[in-house]
Amino acid sequence: MNKPIIKAFHDSSTGTISYVVEDPKTKNCAVIDSVLDFDISSGRTSTKMLMK
């Protein structure tokens, strides 16, 4: 079994850390983002941070 590759990204506007977890063999990945760029003033989320 291959070990996953885990990359962390800090979002300074929310103070949270998002993760991309990749299977190095299949190149499949998953995103773990607890707040999805939550904007408190509008009450909306986005995936802007994930697209970087």
User: If you write DSSP's letter for every residue of 1-52 in order, what string do you get?
Assistant: -PPPEEEEEEETTTTEEEEEEE-TTT--EEEE-SSSS-BTTTTB---TGGG-
Taking 90 as the threshold, does the pLDDT of residue 30 lie above it?
yes
Q: Provide the domain count of the chain.
A: 1
**51 in any annotated domain:** no
Domain assignment of residue 40, given as a range = 5-46
Taking 90 as the threshold, does the pLDDT of residue 37 lie above it?
no
**52 in any annotated domain:** no
Q: Which two tokens stand for residue 20?
A: 């991309």
Q: pLDDT digit string (tens) for 3-21?
A: 999 999 888 877 889 899 9
**11 in any annotated domain:** yes
